[in-house]
Amino acid sequence: DAMVIQNPRYQVTQFGKPVTLSCSQTLNHNVMYWYQQKSSQAPKLLFHYYDKDFNNEADTPDNFQSRRPNTSFCFLDIRSPGLGDTAMYLCATSRGRVMSSPLHFGNGTRLTVT
């Protein structure tokens, strides 16, 4: 089955220690997204790629970076995690050829910063 896969499922990192979360997709979708979801809150968009075109949200901290080396993979790098970055990180994809096509989410990576 075509899927969005996130690794790892759980990640613990120390304050200030860089961490990378990964996402892969077999849907061949043009658009890949990273959302941050804190406990009992809505997913918050950090950035998205339309193919190789990177789009950053204005309020996404500089601490958060992303890479998309090819259609299938996208990475979220947190350069110096703070305690406030503890959250679920959700990767999602959409076709992008049609505005408003549905998002397909991965299972998420639950990040804990200690």
Query: Which residues here bind another protein, judged by CB under 8 A?
Result: 31, 33, 35, 40-45, 48, 50, 55, 57, 90, 94, 96, 99-100, 102-108
Task: Give the residue with the Cβ less far from another protein, 42 or 83.
Answer: 42
- The phi, psi pair for 17, rounded to 5°, reads -90, 120
Distances (CA, A) of 97 to 11, 51, 56, 65, 94: 33, 11, 20, 25, 9
Task: Give the residue with the Cβ less far from another protein, 34 or 81.
Answer: 34
Closest CB 94 distance from another protein, rounded Å: 7
Task: Give the residue with the Cβ less far from another protein, 14 or 59.
Answer: 59
Closest CB 72 distance from another protein, rounded Å: 18
Closest CB 16 distance from another protein, rounded Å: 28
DSSP characters over 57-96: -TTS-TTEEEE-SSSSEEEEEESS--GGG-EEEEEEEE--
Closest CB 11 distance from another protein, rounded Å: 16
The two three-digit tokens of residue 13, written as one number: 């990192």
Contact between 45 and 35 under an 8 Å Cβ cutoff? The reply is: yes
Task: Give the residue with the Cβ less far from another protein, 65 or 109.
Answer: 109
